[in-house]
Structure 1
Amino acid sequence: MSELKLEGSEVPLARKFQDWIRLASRFDTAPGASLKKYQVDSIQVWDDFEHAGTRYAMGHLSCHAVMFKGEKLSPEFVVTYGLHCFTDDNSEYAIAFAYPDGRHERRVCLERYEASKKLRGLLEKLDQGAVIHQTRDERFFTMKMLNSATGKLELYKICLAFFHEHRLLRMHVTSAFFARRGEGVDFPVNRKGFNIFKIAMQTRSKPKGLCPKEVRNRHKKSPGQKQRSPLEEGISATEQRALR
């Protein structure tokens, strides 16, 4: 039996449908997750890139949901990631590839890029005794982690912003890097710490929309280009063309 085809197209309908399912699966597929939750004003999927003949995947920094199981409450956050999680102009591990986020661009740092592959797993364990410290503009937590660039166990610092967006609890990773000076390295962290459940309660009581400007990153729109739909905002430009 011949395959069904879209009118005016040579692309089989069945294959088109499979492409949509495959792309949708790149979002969080945990029980209870839905695309509706990811209508957030931040980059949801970072495009893969290629440099010097090597292709670098970015799927590990896609938007996702994470739920923390507690005795009295089980808050769920929608998580997005910022440009500074994998870029650093001044690092000795920076390569000659500038990655944009719609606001500005920075050189990809291979040290940060490799470490960023572990970010989601670290965030999913925040309810296992992690202490999150407060600064004036953001919160952060630190841990010892193997640095694949140096082969040494070093202090990894993850900076976070918590806020409300469209009735959702939001967590945005503004930056993540191996700290080589300052708090936790040259001297102990001397700030009050909170667990993720306390932060969830505080975030729920905050006015909506209060967040650092870095959170509002968006893929830059070319002249004459239409605004991406909520689903298209979560897939790469190459994959969008495949669906048209």
Structure 2
Amino acid sequence: MNFTFLNEAVPGGRLHGMEIGEGDDLAVHLHGTWGNFYENPFVVALADTYTAAGWRYASVNLPSHDGGSIDETLDDSIEALRAWIDRLGRPGSRVILQGHSLGALKVIRALHDRALRGAPVTVAAAVLLAPFDIVAFNGGSTRLDVENNRAAVRDLVVSETDTLVPKMIFPHWPLSARTYLDITEPGGRWDVFPSRNGDEHSRWVAGCGVRTFVAVGGDDFAAFPDAIQVVDGLKDLPGVSSHVIPEAPHNFAGQEAELQDRLGGFLARLA
């Protein structure tokens, strides 16, 4: 499998990626937290799925790749996405926006904001891999937990100009206090998959306005309240194909073939 290496200038620096395929139509993959354009095995595996269906495929970095996720901002990623589409999109062609984890939330936000308005391409579909309720995962499983954790972090911001969230509040990876307050704000710009509120995440997925594929691993540690309930909340939406990938973790490791099979069926129906 021979990829072309990509090197794109964006405000503040350069971003890298990889591209494969000859078609005009393009699928663009956006990574999740502490990731990059090649981090997870499924990223490369899906290249076969897209190229077999006649799509060019690119996996691209955002300003939040790797350590940049500590103090990332949503608008920087949306701006970088637009730069990549302007660079890789071919006039009159179709684009699929694919995101994994936090990247899936960025896809939802970009579509709701119509961030690609005026681009020379048409967004044909969204592929949301392991989307999750960011407020519940980062802030807490109850409204009171979220309020208490945000209050504690807000006190840190007031007392220190530059600090990380204590592990007792968020143990998974380093996050700046200001970024934590940004991503855990209920109703804020990141809160685009609020599965903690019953089926409210379905409104956001439906609001993307394009045909949409959603896959959540059966063993996804970030799914709230669990993968089955998340997917069940989407099953009656027109134009939305939602799946639980049995035994798959958050990054679908070991279950890439099942993910490829489900996505391949979606692409066949999209043609």
* Greater Rg over alpha carbons, structure: 1
User: Shorter chain as normaliser: what TM range?
Assistant: under 0.3
Q: Larger relative CO (CA 8 A, sep 6+): 1 or 2?
A: 1
- Bigger share in strand: 1
